[in-house]
Chains A and B, each alone.
Chain A
Amino acid sequence: MSKAILYDSTLCIGCRACESACADRWGLPYDDKIAAEEKISAHKLTTIETHGDHFVRRLCMNCVKPACASVCPVGALQKTALGPVTYDADKCMGCRYCMQACPFQVPTYEWSSRLPRMRKCNECYERQSQGKLTACAEACPTGATKCGDRDELIGEAQRRIAEKPGQYYGQIYGLKEVGGTSVLYLSAVPFEQIGLRTGVPSEPLPDYTWRVLELLPDVVSTGAVLLGGIWWVTNRREEVAKAEGRSPRRSGRPPSKNGQGGHAVVPEKLEGRK
């Protein structure tokens, strides 16, 4: 039972109550100037974008299989069972791989800070784990932003499309994108017209990496045996050659004094040279 947000662009009136409620919940400043910034940033974790006659809300998609959580080297980002992807600023070392990996370019950074953090919406994890609504859903006067169980919201979105097929572009954004997201969009027009990225794969992004990472144990064990074997053969050949009293090497260089030849990192005296 994971939580999600359904955002219906056709119901949104662009009042920005969600922006204000979000700023309150994070303790961030909010005024007319910030309201006019139509992009998410470290001091504005959700925003309403205007695309002609249409509004669209941007916030962290809290993906079902989040790329950010999979790439974080210190596990500062976690996908919770409840649904939200949470962030632990005390672990974060600021490599910004989450920002690079996110297909929706959601994570933002406190660039001008000396002790910067990554910032993003966490779908009001604290509120939701207490059974409350997200701050944005609670503030929304028209029901354009609704929060609840993901499966139920998908059902509701499908119902809305079925009831008023003329009013909707008949698909749900977030159902399949990168394996599904916890923010679902309904729109009157094709999604690319309201600025949503439609080129993203439907396979979860962590799978792309895992296909290679899961080979590592094999690479290491095979590699170790192979390298060890090659060294053994090389070394053996040299010992045999030494026992038979001839030079084993392809080059004209005489074998080293200790007789074990090439495998030593240890410096050799160079009397034999020149």
Chain B
Amino acid sequence: MTLGTGTPAAKRWPRITVWRAIFAAILLSGAYATYLRIFYGLGGSTNLSDKFPWGLWIAFDVMCGVALAAGGFTLVAIVHIFGIEKYRPVLRPCILTAFLGYVLVVVGLLFDLGRPDRLWHPLVMWNPHSVMFEVAWCVTLYSTVLFLEFVPVVCERFGWAKPAEWIHRISVPLMILGILLSTLHQSSLGSLFLIVPAKLYPLWYSPVLPLLFFVSAIAVGLAMTIFESWHSSRAFGRALELPLLASLGRVLAVTMSVYLWIRFLDLLQRGVLPLVARNRMETWLFALEIGLALVPTVLLYQRSVRMRPGALYACAVMVVFSVIANRLNVGTTGLEAGSGTHYTPKWSEIAITLSIVAAGFAIFRMVAGYFPIFEAQAHGNEHAVAEVSPQKKEVDPVAVG
């Protein structure tokens, strides 16, 4: 997938490319689905039912959204807390992804909640026994932290010294708070399902779900970092930070190994490994998920694979898809048998989800073009960016995709 390459500012109308056409089609269908959601309720816009109350919007938009945004806290921890400076060039894109990710998670929630106007209720009406309550608080606070972590970028862009100085003073506690909040809610998204031991298929239900969600979130955060760098290097014509990404690939391989090892021990200890011999839908979905995790893990241990941009990118994509498969299995498919029903998302559910993803790509591209997100670009093309981007944004809000 190639993001639209920057067109010369002189051009009045945007070039129509295949990707832009697809992007526009997705947003149009999303707009119609939004109309259905607002005027015909969840019944008119989803295939959810009394027996299957959570679908794609929770499993993908919220659960995958939060996981894919995990690069933010992972890289902050690596660079700022552990002081491994060499990863600094990818820190800002990660923080931006995380911030956008959380904003989009909230957008997804607004679609999914029966009463989106009451999104704020958990902040006022407490139930500390509820995992969802904890997630609501963590996501709210962490979004604030991410916003504050992004403020310096804005300050740099406009040359505001004062606010940058204020944030700088609280930066260490702020980052530690962000890491703690992430640890809590990344794992808590797994804890959400501890309450359904009789519903969730045993290949996924586990008392260590929180731990598995946490470790896989770190892995997919790293994978997303490689994914973004690869795409942004193409979109902005930057050089790929290959040695850096390759070493990140090695960290990814180790994290995935830890994840797969915990997963294996857990299945072994609960005595559910024989289940993989059954010819059921769950078995195949499980095999897909584990296969997508195992292959890149093995490959990424090879230096030759890590040093080839295409191969490194493919491995990162496999990890991303493996974690997406995992979240979808825990959040939807793994619950079908236990709920005694089948669930296939309605077209409008898919349209909204795709629109949110597309909007994520588009906003990322716009922000990355306008603010100093990538160091090389900030250093070298500063003038070009400042001149081209704002114009393009005004003339053509759909100049991406």
Contact = CB atoms under 8 A, between A and B. Distances in A.
B191 A213 contact: yes
B43 A249 contact: no
Interface string B195-221: 111110000000100100000000000
Contacts of B126: 74-75
A199 B339 CA distance: 12
Nearest to A203: B197
B129 A265 contact: no
A205 B132 CA distance: 15
B43 A112 contact: yes
B80 A114 contact: no
Interface of B: 38-44, 48-51, 53-54, 77, 79-86, 88, 112-116, 118-119, 121-122, 125-136, 148-149, 152-153, 155-156, 164-165, 167-168, 171-172, 174-176, 179-180, 183-184, 191-192, 194-199, 207, 210, 335, 339-340, 372, 375, 378-379
Contact of B49 (A72, A111, A210): A111
Most chain A CB inside 10 Å of its own CB: which residue of B39, B81, B148: B81
A266 B86 contact: no
Contacts of B375: 270, 273
Given A70-B129, A94-B113, A273-B375, A116 B118 contact: no
A109 B43 CA distance: 10
Interface stretch (A139-147, A150-158, A223-231): A223-231
A228 B126 CA distance: 29
Given A71-B132, A251-B85, A219 B183 contact: yes
Most chain A CB inside 10 Å of its own CB: which residue of B135, B155, B379: B379
26 contacts: A40-B50, A42-B50, A71-B130, A72-B132, A73-B130, A73-B135, A73-B136, A74-B121, A74-B122, A74-B126, A75-B125, A91-B125, A94-B118, A95-B113, A100-B53, A105-B340, A111-B48, A114-B38, A116-B41, A197-B198, A212-B194, A213-B131, A223-B180, A227-B180, A265-B171, A270-B379
B127 A209 contact: no
Given A111-B49, A227-B81, A209 B131 contact: yes
A265 B149 contact: yes
